[in-house]
Amino acid sequence: MDMTTDYRELDRRFYMPVFSRDTMIVRGRGARVWDDTGKEYIDCVAGIAVCSTGHCHPEVVQAICDQAHDLIHCSNLYYIPHQGELAARLAGITGLSRVFLTNSGAEATEGALKLARVVTGRKKFVAFEHGFHGRTMGALAVTHKPAIREPFMPLEPTCTFLRYGDLEGLRKNVTRETAAVVVEPIQGEAGVIVPPEGFLEGVRERCDDTGALMVVDEVQSGMGRTGKWLAIQHEKVTPDVVLLAKGLASGFPIGALVTAEEYQFRKSEHGSTFGGGPLACAAALATIRVIEQLLPGVPGKGERFRNGLSRYQPRVKGLMIGISVGERCPQIQKSCAEAGVLINCAAEGNLRLVPPLVISYAEIDRAVEALHASLG
Ligand SMILES: *Cc1c(COP(=O)(O)O)cnc(C)c1O
């Protein structure tokens, strides 16, 4: 950082104004970050559930640096160091068989939509109200929020949106013409919404009955966030396709499409220049090693938040936490930031906390205290 450059002014003049922001974060370690004035924050945003190993975890930094010295990029025309190793790890973690690596969550969704069409020969999709699967054209077509999809209509493929939890709707709308049902096991962008008991089993059953693929979007809920590798592993359900991204490589861009053995792209049906490059694979493998150590501690940390915040009736799944606060959400976000705690507002007046899995009990207590002061 060069202290004489006005980065904010350059941003305002040259960057597209799609984000609303004022704080500039310049450094991070563990569950803490610092802004350009030197102010310290406990980070319960963690790059939106991305920096699960904490900021700049030494094992991840080491893996990226080591790989950068050997090879940064070479193309998927060749075998890529660590790509097969990462695929094997992801198969093990998910209980599935085949992997395709992308650069983002949206691209993982795109891959799933293409795959569902090519393996079923069907055209239609079913997804859920308040669901979020990414902002590229295909991913947007299965993303519900009217404000972000309607300006870009018409969107292909055609998708029917059902109420999250609507088993009756599944029976009517998932048919032998449905290529796939795309579902989050916990809706993250909607504000950490947990489905009713039996709903995900219901999706599985209806997919089995009709031959539609069950695509489970674990981009936000996966990679240890809820105390298991996948949120769907809290249920007795095995999906056909799992989507991963956010927490997969500690902030190095990557996404993954993981499938059962019978659902694979054949030669030339899909591809990517950057997807699964050497640096991304090295970062992801180091991340998985670190998360493996952190996983047993996640439920206890979630309970610490639950107990501390009990009077606000939080929805807690490991370290994925939502609190309904209504219109006050932006104000609470602001006053927590002033008190040195970063949290953010997901949809519909829901505060969302998705801190790094390395957060300590003392840091949790400080975050809880700031929330109490702001929530009243
Ligand atoms: C963030 C998110 C995506 C999109 O990921 P990008 O990397 O931003 O494209 C997709 N699905 C879910 C559930 C997400 O939370």
Q: How many CB atoms lie within 10 A of CB 328?
A: 15
Say how many C-beta atoms besides its own lie within 10 A of residue 90's C-beta: 24
pLDDT score of 11: 94
Is the beta carbon of 105 within 6 A of some atom in ligand 1? Answer: yes
According to the model, what pLDDT value does residue 20 have?
87
Pocket lining: 104 vs ligand 1, CB cutoff 6 Å: yes
- Rounded to the nearest angstrom, the distance between the alpha carbon of 182 and the centre of ligand 1 is 13
CA 249, chain centre distance (Å): 11
pLDDT tens over the chain, length 376 residues = 777 889 999 999 999 999 989 899 999 999 999 999 999 999 999 999 999 999 999 999 999 999 999 999 999 999 998 999 999 999 999 999 999 999 999 999 999 999 999 999 999 999 999 999 999 999 999 999 999 999 999 998 789 999 999 999 999 999 999 999 999 999 999 999 999 999 999 999 999 999 999 999 999 999 999 999 999 999 999 999 999 999 999 999 999 999 999 999 999 999 999 999 999 999 999 999 999 999 999 999 999 999 999 999 999 999 999 999 999 999 999 999 999 999 999 988 999 999 999 999 999 999 999 999 999 8
Domains of the chain, start order: 59-293 (3.40.640.10)
Tokens of 16: 């597209």
Report the alpha-carbon distance of residue 80 to residue 78 in Å, rounded. 6
Closest Cα to atom 6 of ligand 1: 105
CB atoms within 10 A of CB 3: 5
Catalytic residue list contains 317: no
**CB atoms near residue 70 (< 10 Å):** 10
pLDDT on residue 360: 98
**pLDDT at 34 (0 to 100):** 98
Residue 1 is predicted with a pLDDT of 73
For residues 206 and 90, give the distance between their C-alpha atoms in angstroms, rounded to a whole number. 26
Which among 192, 185, 241 is positioned nearest to 213, based on CA atoms? Answer: 241
Instruction: Tell which one of 19, 101, 133 to mutate to probe ligand 1, the residue whose CB is within 8 A of the most ligand atoms.
Output: 133
Report DSSP state, residue 206.
H
Is 22 known to be catalytic? no
Q: What is the pLDDT of residue 156?
A: 81
| DSSP 8-class letter at 244 | E
Counting every residue, how long is the chain? 376
| Nearest CA among 351, 353, 308, 355 for reference residue 331 | 351
pLDDT at 3: 75
Query: How close is the Cα of 27 to the center of ligand 1, in Å?
Result: 24
Q: Which residues pair with 244 in a beta bridge?
A: 256
Q: Say if residues 243 and 105 touch (Cβ distance below 8 Å).
A: yes
Q: Give the integer Cα–Cα distance in Å for 121 and 211.
A: 11
pLDDT of residue 49: 98
- Which of 273, 256, 269, 238 lies closest to 90, judged by CA? 256
Q: In a 3-state reduction of DSSP, which class is residue 89?
A: helix
Predicted local distance difference test score (pLDDT) of residue 348: 82
The single residue listed with the structure tokens 């941003």 is: 11
Q: What distance in Å separates the CA atoms of residue 258 and residue 246, rounded to the nearest whole number?
A: 15
Q: Is the CB of 217 under 6 A from ligand 1?
A: yes
Q: Is 132 a catalytic residue?
A: yes
Q: What is the pLDDT of residue 373?
A: 95
